[in-house]
Amino acid sequence: MNSSIRVGNLFGIPFYVNPSWFLVLALVTFDFGGDLTNFSGLSGVLPWFLGFVTALLLFASVLAHELGHSFVAIQQGIEVKSITLFLFGGLASLEKESKSPLEAFLVAIAGPAVSLLLFALLTAVQANANLASSLASIVALLASINLALALFNLIPGLPLDGGNILKALVWQVTDNPHKGVLFASRVGQFFGWGGIIYGVLP
């Protein structure tokens, strides 16, 4: 992460963005901004501004996910060295592993739990608030992104959160953290190769 740019601190945690983040920010801004031009009442720079705000909110969702991991780790006395946003999401860099499988499980599940909570809150807002169609579209997109973020990260293979959850469960059963890492890594390789094979199939 040496090429990442330090933005500042969040709750005492050094916060970085990788240059690749700006590419995704631009792509989301122009893609969703273009979609918003189809809504009546939105013209000029307004659709593109809303697209930019939406892109920032999407990354705020990723940041909230990583803060979920970070806050639980801090409660366990683990230093969070940094949080970095990059092309494929975010990463909270922890000083060390949790001391027990239960604590490791709680750190791992915290991120998806935050994303699912945001999905539930945004879905409730969309269903109950009388929003303009353009704003409703933004809220719906944010809700779906948070759901996708949670479900993708729950795939049970390292380096995803689901892999860390699986690692903690195997650690609990075997009383051996190394067996947990090995098993979750192999499952992660299985899903990785499965994704590659699926991608090249006609």
**Residues marked as catalytic:** 66
Tokens of 90: 């975010």
What would the two tokens of residue 150 be?
Answer: 């949670």
Residue 2 CB coordination number (10 Å):
3
Give all strands of the β-sheet with 5-10 in edge-to-edge order.
5-10, 13-17, 80-86, 89-94
Give the CA dihedral 114, 143, 168, 157, nearest 10 degrees: -150
SS3 22: helix
Distance CA 3, CA 70 (A): 22
β-pair partners for 89: 86
